[in-house]
Amino acid sequence: MSEKNYLILLDINVRKRHYHIRQAGRIIKFVVQLEIKVGDEWKEVIRYDCAHDYAHKDFYNIRGQHKKINLRLDYEDALTMAEDDINENWEIYREKFFKGDFPRG
């Protein structure tokens, strides 16, 4: 079993948190999350994970509201999607977070 856990700074107050566990060549647990520092606190903006035993993503806004979307993917594909999506779209997510909007699923 291998476990990876790291943070990547994307901008001065924006970071990506990555965590996954691989067992027998398969992802058995993962979280990839975009976070923004608001004041002294890091806030979730978008989180991909497999809590509740299925791959999904949660969107959050500055008001603390959130929206959950079932990805209907296996964990490996969901982890890849999470990495690609946050790497490519974190600036859009940051903007929508502060406006109080949710991105489209």
87 lies in some domain: yes
Q: Cα separation of 66 and 63, whole Å?
A: 9
Say what the pLDDT of residue 61 is. 87
Q: Cα separation of 31 and 11, whole Å?
A: 20
Number of domains within the chain: 1
User: Which domain, by its residues, includes 33?
Assistant: 2-99
Say what the pLDDT of residue 103 is. 64
29 lies in some domain: yes
15 lies in some domain: yes
81 lies in some domain: yes
72 lies in some domain: yes
DSSP state of 39: T
Say what the pLDDT of residue 104 is. 61
Say what the pLDDT of residue 64 is. 83
pLDDT per residue as tens, the chain (105 positions): 999 999 999 999 999 999 999 999 999 999 999 999 999 999 999 999 999 999 999 999 888 888 999 999 999 999 999 999 999 999 999 999 998 876 665
Task: Please tell me the pTM assigned to this model.
Answer: 0.92
In sequence order, what are the beta bridge partners of 90? none
105 lies in some domain: no
104 lies in some domain: no
90 lies in some domain: yes
